[in-house]
Structure 1
Amino acid sequence: MTARREKPVTVTINQAYDLIVAPVVTEKSTMGSENNQVTFRVPLTATKPQIKAAIEILFKVKVNSVNTLKQRGKIKRFKGKLGKRPDYKKAIVSLAEGEMIDVTTGV
């Protein structure tokens, strides 16, 4: 089996700001920071190469890999009526050894 070649993805600084919606600060994502992993919310249409390029541009770090998952919105009741929270996508970014992103500063 031959290795797939990644096409070079160019992301402008404005597109990079649109691709990274917010950091995810949960107990699980905080535990991932011990393994050089940072979790971000991204648009549903974002691809792994785009996310990698955006992180490298915005934070000036080297990214090893990007794992993504789509989270379905929960069904919730509000004032007796059923509603649905929006779907969203999370990206778990693995950084190179020695690299670091501190998402808790400025909070």
Structure 2
Amino acid sequence: MKDPYTVIIRPIISEKSLRLKDEGKYVFEIARDANKIDVRRAVEEIFKVEVEKVAIINEKPKLRRMGLTQGFTSKRKKAIVTLKPGYKIEIISGV
């Protein structure tokens, strides 16, 4: 079993993730080698909640340019975690 603190890198705070929070869904950036089972165990262990569902999204790198120089953003992996009714993650609730 992987260390839960290496599976979940950070919560993602955006307009969309704050809207999803009202539905009991929370968005995290996760390690590239993590799967749904790893994410479920990590969230349940770190935040002491029960997870109903996990959806994983692989974001491709985007091309970015500044003048003649161009490069790519980093690719990342996100997880949308749905909690069972009655559970809440307090770290994100203060935002």
Task: Pick from 72, 75, 84 the counterpart of residue 96 of structure 1.
Answer: 84
Aligned to 1:32: 20
Give the CA RMSD over aligned residues. 1.7
CA contact (8 A) 1:23 1:103 kept: no
Alignment coverage as a number of residue pairs: 95
Aligned to 1:77: 65
Q: State yes or no: 1:49 paired with 2:22.
A: no
**CA–CA separation in structure 1 for the residues paired with 2:22 and 2:94:** 20
Q: For residue 91 of structure 2, give the secondary structure of its aligned residue in structure 1.
A: coil
- Give ranges in structure 2 of 5+ residues lacking alignment: none
Instruction: State the 1:80 CA deviation.
Output: 2.1
TM superposition score normalised by structure 2: 0.91
Deviation sequence 1:51-89 (CA, Å, 0-9, x none): 000000000000001001001111011452110111001
**CA–CA separation in structure 2 for the residues paired with 1:91 and 1:27:** 16
Divergent runs of 4+, >6 A: none
Q: For residue 19 of structure 2, give the secondary structure of its aligned residue in structure 1.
A: helix
**CA–CA separation in structure 2 for the residues paired with 1:105 and 1:33:** 8
- Which residue identity lines up with residue 86 of structure 2 in the other structure? G
- Give ranges in structure 1 of 5+ residues lacking alignment: 1-9
Q: Which has the larger radius of gyration?
A: 1
Distance 1:17 1:92, change over 3 A: same
Distance 1:106 1:94, change over 3 A: closer
